[in-house]
Amino acid sequence: MFRGRSTDESMQRVFGGQVAGQALVAAARTVDEPDRSVHSLHAYFLRPGDPTKPILYDVDRLRDGRSFTTRRVMAIQHGRAIFNLHASFHIGETGLDFQELMPPDLPDPDGLPDWKTRMEPHREALGPSWDRPRPIDIRYIRDDPMSRAGVTASGQQVWLRAAGSLPDDDVVHACVVTYASDMTLLDTTLLPFGLGWNDTGIQMASLDHAMWFHRP
C-alpha cells in the first residue's frame, strides 16, 4: 500500500495525470527485478479525486514471469475506488524498431513562449489556474487552446519537458511522462470541430487512458 498527496488543494478535483503517475510509481516500486521497465499501461478514471485528502494506492502482484511482470493498482479515497491501472513491465530486449522522423521545420522550443506567456491574453478567463505552478513546461507550436475558435485541424504539435531537473531514475522519468500525457489530449480532441477551451457548452474529463513506452 502506498500513499500519495496533491500539491495543490485549491483545485476542484485531482488532475488525472497526477493519479496515473502516482499509480505507476506504486506499481513500479513493487517490481523486484531491476532490468524490467514499464512498457504499457491501461487505466480507467472511475471517480473525481479529492485534492484535500491523500490517495491510497493498493497494488496487486498479478504476475511475476520470466520476461514480464504485471501489476494492478487501485487508487482509493473515502473508502471508494477512484482510479484503476494495469501496468506491464518487460526485460530489455533487442527487436524491430521504427520511429517517424522529426519534421525538419519545427521551431526550436527555446524560441517559443512558455505557458504563462502564451496564455497571458486569457489571464482573466483562466482565473487562479493561470498563476498555478506547473511541473511540465509546455510550448505550443501554433495557437494556444483558448485561441482556436473556428480553426480546424486533425492534431497539434507541442514541446513538453519537465520544468525542473529529474533524478537518474527510469521510473521517475516514465511517471513524469505519464503525468504530462494527460495535459494536451483533451484540447486536441476539440480541434477537428474548431472548438477551444473557452467555448460554452463543453465539459471535458479523462475517462480512460493507455500508453506504450518503447524504451526507458
Q: In this structure, what CATH number is given to the domain that contains residue 208? A: 2.40.160.210
152 vs 33: CA distance, rounded Å: 47
From CA 134, how far away is CA 29, in angstroms rounded? 25
CA atoms within 13 A on the CB side of 157: 10
Radius of gyration, CA atoms only, the chain:
19
Q: Tell me whether residue 97 is in a domain.
A: no
* C-alpha cell read off for 119: 496564455
Please provide residue 10's backbone torsions phi and psi, each rounded to the nearest 5 degrees.
Answer: -85, -10
Average of per-residue pLDDT values in the chain: 90
- pLDDT value at position 216? 78
Max intra-chain CA distance, the chain: 55
Examine residue 56 and state whether it is found in any structural domain, yes or no.
yes
Examine the pLDDT at 123 and tell me if it is beyond 90.
no
Nearest to 55 by CA among 28, 25, 32, 86: 25
151 confidence band (pLDDT: 50, 70, 90): confident
Give the pLDDT of residue 113: 94
Q: Is residue 99 part of a domain?
A: no
With a CB cutoff of 8 Å and minimum separation 6, the contacts of 214 are 39, 97
Domain-located, residue 21: yes
The count of structural domains within the chain is 1
Range of the domain at 14: 2-92+105-212
Higher-confidence position of 8 and 208 = 208
Q: Is the pLDDT of residue 25 over 90?
A: yes
Highest mean pLDDT among 40-54, 143-157, 177-191: 40-54
At residue 165, the pLDDT reads 93
Contacts 24+ apart (CB under 8 A), 157-165: 157/103, 157/106, 158/184, 159/109, 159/112, 160/136, 160/184, 161/109, 161/136, 161/137, 162/135, 162/136, 162/137, 163/134, 163/135, 163/136, 163/137, 164/135
Q: Which of 19-33, 111-125, 154-168, 195-209 has the highest mean pLDDT?
A: 19-33
Looking at the predicted structure, is the pLDDT value of residue 138 above 90? yes
Which pLDDT score, from 0 to 100, does residue 159 have? 95
Between these two residues, 10 and 120, which has the higher pLDDT value? 120
Place of cell 498527496: 5
What does the pLDDT read at residue 149? 67
Q: What confidence score (pLDDT) does residue 38 get?
A: 97
In a domain, 100, yes or no: no
Q: What is the pLDDT of residue 206?
A: 86
Whole-number percent of the chain with pLDDT over 90? 59
Lowest mean pLDDT among 42-46, 68-72, 88-92, 98-102: 98-102
pLDDT the model gives residue 9? 64
Specify the pairing of strand 55-64 against strand 2-4. antiparallel
Question: Residue 198 pLDDT more than 80?
Answer: no
DSSP class of 100: P
